[in-house]
Chain A
Amino acid sequence: MSAANKRVRIRLTINGASRELEIEPRRLLVELLREDLDLTGTHIGCDTTYCGACTVLLNGRNVKSCTVFAVQADGGEITTVEGLEKDGKLDAVQEAFAECHGLQCGYCTPGFLMSTRALLSRVAHPTDAQIRKGIAGNTCRCTGYQNIFKAVRAAAGGAGK
């Protein structure tokens, strides 16, 4: 057990800042973010890679950070919900979710924002089918997805409301 728990050193860029950390190899990326770096905007909602509350961007792709070991992200660039806002200005996806009431309790929201951000970086104007697929890995228990559909459309520059 002790060999397995031997700490390793990794280097990451998180929300633009470079960080060096010593961690147990079994540390999950989500634990690293929440526990070691206090970036508690990224949430945990399940234990079988279903809910997407933990979604972050790793090298521009949306990943479920509960299913990535921190060591796997070594050398990578990570964006969390805390990194979306630039110079005091909300990202278009944050603005759209707030404007369309695409959230209630807000627990799933960071994950949805990151998945939407990744979707819109891949496809600027997604079809409804692409939107559904783009957020298929995220679960929301409050909104019934109706206003999330609207928010994603609005963020893409379409009519959200």
Chain B
Amino acid sequence: MSTQPPSSGTTGKGRWVGQPLRRREESRLVRGHGLFVDDYKLAGMVHLQFVRSPYAHARITHVDTSAAAASPGVLCVLTGEQVAARVNPFIEIGPGCDGKIVDLPMAVGKVRYQGEPVVAIVAETAADAADAADLVEVDYEPLEPVIDGEAAATSKSLLHEPLGSNVNWHSQFEYGEVDAAFRDAAYVVHIPRLHFHRFSSTPLETNVVIATWNLKEDTIHFLSTNSFPAFAVQFLSPALGVRIDQLHMESWDIGGGFGIKITSYPQMAVCALASKQLGGRPVKWVETRTEHMLASAHGNERTFLDTRVALDKNGVITAIDSRHIDDCGAYPRYEPLGCIIWAQVLPACYRFRNFRVDFSQVVTNKCPVGPNRGYSRMQHLWFIERCLDICGHELGIPTDEMRLRNYIRPDEFPYTTPNGCVYDSGNYPKMLELAKRLVNWDEWKKNQQIARAEGRWLGIGIGTTLDSGTNNFGQARIVNAHAPYSGQSKAAIVKLDIYGEVVVFMGSVPQGQGHETVAAQVVAEVLNIPPEMIAVKPGFDSLQNVYTGHTGTYASQFAVTGLSAIHGAAEKLRAELERLAAFALKAERAQLEFGAGKMGPEVRVRGTEKSINYWALANLVNVNNAELPQSMEDITLNCRYLYKAPFTVPDVEKKYGNLTLTYASQLHIAVIEVDRETFQPKILAYAAVDDCGTQINPRIVAGQMHGATAHGIGAAIMETCEYSPEGNMLTATFSDYTPITAVNMPELLCGDIESPSPFSYNGAKGMGEGGAAPVHTVCAALQDALFSTGVLIRDSFHTGDRIFEAVRRAESGADRGVRVERRG
């Protein structure tokens, strides 16, 4: 298949592309007619409930399920051991983990995190299953929990004994002349410890599965919320001992995902086994919110140790040297991919060329992580932002000036980073200027002077971040040279059905991103007909949709990969229609034009009355087809196009290569006051500027940006997956986790610029993850507010009580956690 974008590409704005069209999805969703997995009731369907571990780390000494099995309505009970006897452990992506980490759908022998499933009960009704679950007795012998990621590496208590330690992955990354840069530095800033906390985007719909093992055909049908089925099947098929083509994956509406629903395959496997045991009855499992908080997936926690930053006399960063420990929870699952994915944005938005990091990932007795929105890049971007922001404050350089001195310059794009990634386009100074204007920077600077004179803590912070999109799966080989992945692709079909309907089949698995609407816009542009005349199949169905091994919605890419495939397929269909019309109308192809007439979509001869509509064109191929010349026999009106992103496999030894295709950027400014009585941070103004290249539907782009901003603000000041030293999750309900609500969410001052990507046919960049801009921004504003108190912002999470502690610590004269070495 061609890797070239189709030639007659529609760049920039068009009649439909680039317009803020109302989404077609709204029409069913505002009526309550969405079709979510929990809404399905299949004939003979039964209900599964898990009994979960109350301990973070314990040996299972005894399981008694007899009372549960005898409880009314109960159909079958499965213990971890019974499940283990029927499956193979899930594959591990990590190189050294094979056989050393045994990841099964349920706990066997011991539990490794609070909430790990121990027993599964299937009953006629959900209430019967819940009643029976109460009757299961499990005895545990507690083991020493490993909760702190930093201590995990040296802990004697091991999660997976055969691994020999709790270190799951470790490697060095080094680029440029690090030692020379430190030798020549005017300043070296030492930051012993920075910490990025655990949180999760917690989609409002939890994970849901309905599995049906059809014993006659030996196929397994999954209706599920899984948002990356092409990935899930690679885990499910070997585990269940079936071929991938025996798995039928389906979804319709999905109630948000944000990456958290990628790793739901263990529960899918248990439901499938239960269905098989029950002769093929559909088995439904609906995760409760508490189960979701305890045991679905969290974002990665990361600690940055012994950081040294080299700067020249102007405050320009020349090198960073550091040690990073990523904490992936009890089982790696999608990991250790996060150990390389951060490298997509290695220098963040800055020009430094010398970089060294010792990167390791550890397992701990906490919920396994999953690729949460901004996955692995946001932790790293936050780290670089903190380094830059702290250095600026320590050296007394104004915060905006510090950024301008360090930004990659607009004329340097496409910019090759020290590790070979190519930033496609951007203009960070222009974004800064716009954000300052939106937030009213000069006014707030004056207010800040007044506030400070009154002894108030008011800070203004800037956060600059990247949303790298369209990932090259070849980077998986840097964490495991044998990983059988590379590149990136998407496929789509645009077809003309027998009565002239234009129908689009995509491979994406949307969860609210409006793919149906945008797909119709793109096809409408190619065929020059209104989007309402185009049907787009919602949801995903592996028997019907068209897909590749990379199919799914993740890694900010639909606007590039998904639309390239759809556009390519629409162009192919257009070419077929043109050939048919030229024949039918006895005209030259060059004389034809596309549009909508009285009889629906049509092709006409320019400047004449002669036209033929789509129904008649379809008829020529499908019904009345004896007249069609032989030269047109290849025409099927069913056009599939496979878009393959232009990647090569990175150099595994040097850890060098282009890891992503596009780089959307976000620049936020927050004004925050910390109340001197309550220490609560209050956002007084918030500006958010976005650049995702050419926007295909500005309404959807704005919505994505709002959502990502709310996740970031929530993460910075409200949301944390907190564990006690014993491994009890302290925020295991929404009431404790407190997802941000309308009461806490400021009204945003939004703006955008468009730096078209030279690497996508339409100039668009993938977007939607947002790079956790608010986490960087809120931290920068708090730093600005509290710098005079001696507080150094070293953590990503800030509630009133955390700020109180930090101020107290600073007042008691404790080590500030930073040291500046001035040379010469």
Residues of chain A at the chain B interface (Cβ within 8 Å) = 1, 24, 26, 34, 38-51, 53, 80-82, 84-85, 90, 94-95, 97-99, 101, 103-110, 113, 131-133, 135-136, 138-149
- Nearest residue (CB) in A for B125 is A35
List the A side residues contacting B511 at CB < 8 Å.
Answer: 105
Which residues of the partner chain B approach A139 to less than 8 Å between Cβ atoms?
204, 734, 739, 741
Q: Are B29 and A101 in contact (CB under 8 A)?
A: no
The reply to whether B706 and A146 form a contact with Cβ atoms under 8 Å apart is yes
A residues near B256, Cβ cutoff 8 Å: 104-105, 107, 141-142
Which B residues touch A98, using CB under 8 A? Answer: 22-23, 26-27, 30
By the criterion CB–CB under 8 Å, are A148 and B735 in contact? no
What residues of B have a CB within 8 angstroms of the CB of A145 in the complex? Answer: 706, 710, 741-742, 745
In the complex the two chains form, what is the Cα distance from A53 to B32 in whole Å? 11
Other-chain contact of B707, A41, A138, A142 (Cβ < 8 Å) = A142
Task: Please tell me if the beta carbons of A105 and B733 are within 8 angstroms of each other in the complex.
Answer: no
- Residue from A24, A97, A110 with most neighbouring chain B CB atoms (10 Å): A110
> Which residues from A are CB-within-8-Å of B705?
144
* A14, B204: Cα distance in complex, Å: 26
Asked whether B595 is an interface residue with its Cβ less than 8 Å from the other chain, the reply is: no
Q: Is the CB of A43 within 8 A of B255?
A: yes
Asked if A82 contacts B203 (CB within 8 A), the reply is no
- Residues on A with C-beta less than 8 A from B204 are 43, 45, 51, 53, 105, 107-108, 139-142
When the two chains form their complex, are residues A43 and B205 in contact, meaning their CB atoms are under 8 A apart?
A: yes
Closest to A149 in B: B747
Residues of A within 8 A of B514 (CB): 104
Whether a CB of chain A sits under 8 angstroms from the CB of B655 is no
Please provide the chain B residues from 120 to 134 with a CB less than 8 Å away from any CB of chain A in the complex.
Answer: 127, 131
Q: Cβ of B699 and Cβ of A143 under 8 Å apart?
A: no
Shortest Cβ distance from A112 into chain B, in angstroms? 9
Chain B positions within 8 Å of A34 at CB level: 38-39
Residues of B within 8 A of A104 (CB): 256, 512-514, 703-704, 707
Q: How far is the CA of A51 from the CA of B288 in the complex (A)?
A: 13
Given A101-B22, A135-B742, does the pair A50, B32 have CB atoms closer than 8 Å? no
Chain A residues whose CB sits within 8 angstroms of the CB of B216 once the complex forms: none
Partner-A contacts on B (CB < 8 A): 22-23, 25-34, 36, 38-39, 41, 127, 131, 201-206, 253-256, 258, 288-290, 511-514, 699-700, 702-711, 733-735, 738-739, 741-743, 745, 747-748, 750
Give A24 to B34 CA distance when docked, in angstroms.
28
Contact B288 A47 (CB under 8 A): yes
Q: Return A67 CB to nearest CB of chain B, in Å.
A: 12
User: Do B25 and A144 have beta carbons less than 8 Å apart?
Assistant: no
A46 lies within 8 A of B255 (CB):
no
Smallest CB gap from B257: residue in A: A105
- Which residues of A are found within 8 Å of B39, using beta-carbon distances? 34, 40
A65 to B771, CA, bound (A): 36
Pair B32/A40 contact, Cβ less than 8 Å:
yes
Please determine whether A147 and B706 come into contact, CB atoms closer than 8 angstroms.
yes
Cβ-defined contact, A106 with B742, below 8 A: no
Residues of chain A lying within 8 A (CB to CB) of residue B32? 39-42, 80-82, 84, 110
**A82 — which chain B residues lie within 8 A by C-beta?**
31-32
In the bound complex, how far is the Cα of B28 from the Cα of A85, in angstroms?
12
The contact sample of 20 A-B pairs, CB cut-off 8 A, is: A1-B131, A43-B205, A48-B735, A49-B735, A50-B733, A90-B30, A101-B23, A105-B512, A106-B29, A107-B204, A108-B204, A109-B29, A135-B741, A136-B741, A141-B711, A142-B204, A142-B703, A143-B706, A144-B745, A145-B706
CB distance B710 to A138 under 8 Å? no
Contacting residues, chain A, for B708 (C-beta < 8 A): 144
In whole angstroms, how far apart are the Cα atoms of A24 and B131 in the complex? 14
Establish whether residues A101 and B733, one from each chain, have CB atoms under 8 Å apart when the complex forms.
no
How far apart are the CA atoms of A101 and B703 in the complex, in Å? Answer: 7
Least CB distance from A8 to B in Å reads 15
Best-buried of A24, A48, A144 by chain B (most CB within 10 Å): A144
Other than the known A50-B739, A98-B26, what 8 A-B pairs have Cβ atoms closer than 8 Å?
A41-B32, A43-B36, A48-B290, A105-B203, A109-B29, A142-B512, A144-B745, A146-B702
> Which B residues are CB-close (under 8 A) to A146?
702, 706, 745, 747-748, 750
Smallest distance from the beta carbon of B656 to chain A beta carbons, Å?
Answer: 37
Query: Is A136's CB under 8 angstroms from B22's CB?
Result: no
Tell me, in angstroms, the Cα distance from A113 to B709 when the chains sit together: 23
A144 touching B253 in the complex, CB below 8 Å, given contacts A97-B26, A101-B703, A135-B742: no
Distance between Cα atoms of A141 and B738 in the complex (Å):
12
User: Which A residues are CB-close (under 8 A) to B747?
Assistant: 146, 149
Which of B26, B289, B738, B747 has the most chain A CB within a 10 Å cutoff?
Answer: B26
In the bound assembly, the distance between CA atoms of A149 and B748 in angstroms comes to 11
A24 and B127 contacting across the interface, CB-CB below 8 Å:
yes
- Nearest A residue to B288 via CB reads A47
**Bound complex: CA of A63 vs CA of B339, how far in Å?**
46
Closest A residue to B71 using CB positions: A1
A48 near B253: Cβ-Cβ < 8 Å: no
Q: A107-B256, A149-B742 are in contact. Are A51 and B26 (CB under 8 A)?
A: no
Residue of A34, A43, A48, A107 contacting most chain B CB atoms (<10 Å): A107
Ranked nearest first, the 5 interchain pairs of A and B with the lowest CB-CB distance are A41-B32, A105-B512, A106-B29, A107-B255, A144-B710
Q: Which residues of B contact A99 (CB under 8 A)?
A: 22
Distance between Cα atoms of A107 and B254 in the complex (Å): 8
State the Cβ distance, B23 to closest chain A Cβ, in Å: 7
A127 to chain B, nearest CB (A): 13
What residues of A have a CB within 8 angstroms of the CB of B288 in the complex? 47
In the assembled complex, the CB of A25 is this many whole angstroms from the nearest CB of chain B, namely 12
* Complex alpha-carbon distance, A115 and B258, angstroms: 26
**In the complex the two chains form, what is the Cα distance from A94 to B710 in whole Å?**
23
CB distance from B801 to the nearest CB of A (A): 21
Which residue on chain A has the smallest CB distance to residue B131?
A: A1
CB-nearest residue of chain A to B254: A105
Most buried by B among A103, A132, A141: A141
What separation, in Å, do the CA atoms of A45 and B36 have in the docked complex? 12
Chain A residues lying within 8 Å of B739, measured Cβ to Cβ, are 50-51, 139, 141
On whether the beta carbons of A132 and B733 are closer than 8 Å, the reply is no
Instruction: Report yes or no: A136 in contact with B203, Cβ–Cβ below 8 A.
Output: no
Residues of chain A contacted by B30 (CB below 8 angstroms): 81, 90, 94-95, 97-98, 103, 106, 109, 113
Write the chain B residue with the least CB distance to A45. B204
Cα A146 to Cα B734 in complex, Å, equals: 21
Q: For B27, list chain A residues within 8 Å (CB).
A: 98
Known contacts A139-B739, A139-B741, A146-B747; decide if A85 and B31 are in contact (CB<8 Å): yes
Q: Are A50 and B735 in contact (CB under 8 A)?
A: yes
A45 → chain B closest CB, angstroms: 4
The distance in angstroms between the C-alpha atoms of A107 and B28, with both chains bound, is 11
Closest B residue to A150 by beta carbon equals: B747
Q: Is the CB of A144 within 8 A of B709?
A: yes
A139 nearest CB across to chain B (Å): 5
Instruction: Assess whether A106 is in contact with B253, with CB atoms less than 8 Å apart.
Output: yes
